[in-house]
Amino acid sequence: MKLIIVSITVLIINIPFGYWRENVKKYSLQWILAIHVPVVLVILERILSHLGYAWFTFPFIIIAFFTGQYLGTKIFDYLKYKKHYNVSSCLVMDCIRNCF
């Protein structure tokens, strides 16, 4: 049960970072930070949740990580190209500005 909760949290944490990554130049400092800052958060979450580092936990966490990044990029593309909203690199502010 703890593994499922941590995996869902990792997925949710990575959505804004994937959104941010989609709006910056590839291989720039911001692009690298959008990928690596959530790694620190995932490690911190593993420590605080006492999940440990057993080998069977890695596929769940890795899949959740990349799925969150992917969903963030798809949300960015949807808002920018389908809805034609004026988007920035911040998912929260774009939702407040355009969705409400």
What share of the chain in percent tops pLDDT 70? 100
The pTM score is 0.92
The number of folded domains in the chain is: 1
Q: Which residues of 66-87 are buried (b: 16+ CB within 10 A; e: fewer)?
A: ebbbebbbebbeebeeeeebeb
Q: What is the mean pLDDT of the chain?
A: 95
Nearby residues of 53 by Cβ (< 8 Å), 6 or more positions away: 46
Q: Which domain holds residue 12?
A: 2-99
Tell me the per-residue pLDDT of 9-57, one tens digit each, with 9 for 90 and over: 999 999 999 999 999 999 999 999 999 999 999 999 999 999 999 999 9
Give strand ranges (E) for the chain. Answer: none
